[in-house]
């Protein structure tokens, strides 16, 4: 005697369903694949998923942005074998507020050497004057891992202090 095969269940499809039948529920890929692979699309699973999906999960509470705690003007220095560069950036807008370098043609002619401690002091003095012209009274110093408060770094920072820029 033959056995009648049970009717095969059709997997859930977004194309075969209507909004009235399933409401406004959206399924993610894992839920859809679970229902499709196991074929367990019955009323109990539908009711359970409806409750789970309709639960309101609040967005995670994020800490305030780090830029609120940063000092607005940051002094960054870069030293090469030939030149001394210093710039002050406005960290909230990520723009350069002022810069000075021993590469500038007007400064190169007045310096004997463009890479020593005296050149770094002169760059700091010029940068300080440019900052005062733009009404920037204070900066914070950002030092790379290999930069210590010694030599050229100290010369730039001390000359900024002499001009009247406050180091935070």
Mean pLDDT of 102-122: 94
What pLDDT score was predicted for residue 92? 83
pLDDT mean over 136-164: 94
Q: Is pLDDT of 70 > 90?
A: no
pLDDT for the residue numbered 91: 86
| 43-57, 77-91, 144-158: range with lowest mean pLDDT | 43-57
- Per-residue model confidence as pLDDT tens digits over 39-64: 554 544 555 555 455 555 666 776 66
Q: Strands 84-90 and 138-142, how do they pair?
A: unpaired
> Taken in order 38, 43, 49, 52, is the CA torsion positive or negative?
negative
Query: In the prediction, which pLDDT does 93 show?
Result: 86
What would the mean pLDDT of 11-18 be, rounded to a whole number? Answer: 48
Hey, is 14 helix, strand or coil?
coil
Query: Which position has the token pair 């509470």?
Result: 61
Q: How many angstroms separate the CA atoms of 159 and 101, rounded? A: 14
Task: Tell me the β-bridge partners of 141.
Answer: 75
pLDDT for the residue numbered 17: 47
Compute the distance between CA of residue 102 and CA of residue 108 in angstroms, rounded to an integer. 6
Looking at residues 112-139, what average pLDDT do you find? 95
Residue 9: pLDDT over 70: no
Q: What pLDDT does 37 receive? A: 52
pTM above threshold 0.85? no
The percent helix, strand, coil of the chain (3-state, each to 5) is: 35, 15, 45
118: Cα within 13 Å, side-chain hemisphere: 7
Q: CA-CA distance, 35 to 9, in Å (whole number)?
A: 11
**Element housing 120 (H / E):** helix 117-133
66-167 sits in which CATH class? alpha beta
What pLDDT is recorded for position 22?
45
Domain ranges of the chain: 19-54, 66-167
Mean pLDDT, rounded, of the chain = 77
């Amino acid at each position: 005697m033959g056995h009648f095969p049970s009717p095969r269940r059709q997997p859930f499809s977004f194309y075969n369903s209507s909004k009235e039948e399933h409401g406004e529920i959206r399924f993610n890929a894992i839920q859809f694949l679970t229902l499709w692979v196991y074929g367990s699309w019955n009323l109990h699973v539908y009711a359970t998923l409806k409750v789970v999906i309709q639960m309101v999960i609040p967005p995670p509470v994020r800490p305030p942005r780090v830029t609120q705690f940063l000092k607005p003007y940051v002094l960054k220095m870069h030293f090469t074998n030939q030149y001394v560069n210093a710039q002050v950036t406005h960290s909230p807008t990520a723009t350069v507020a002022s810069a000075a370098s021993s590469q500038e043609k007007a400064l190169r002619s007045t310096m004997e050497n463009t890479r020593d401690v005296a050149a770094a002091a002169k760059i700091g003095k010029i940068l300080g004057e440019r900052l005062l012209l733009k009404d920037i009274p204070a900066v914070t110093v950002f030092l790379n891992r290999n930069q210590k408060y010694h030599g050229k770094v100290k010369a730039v920072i001390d000359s900024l202090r002499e001009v009247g820029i406050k180091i935070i």
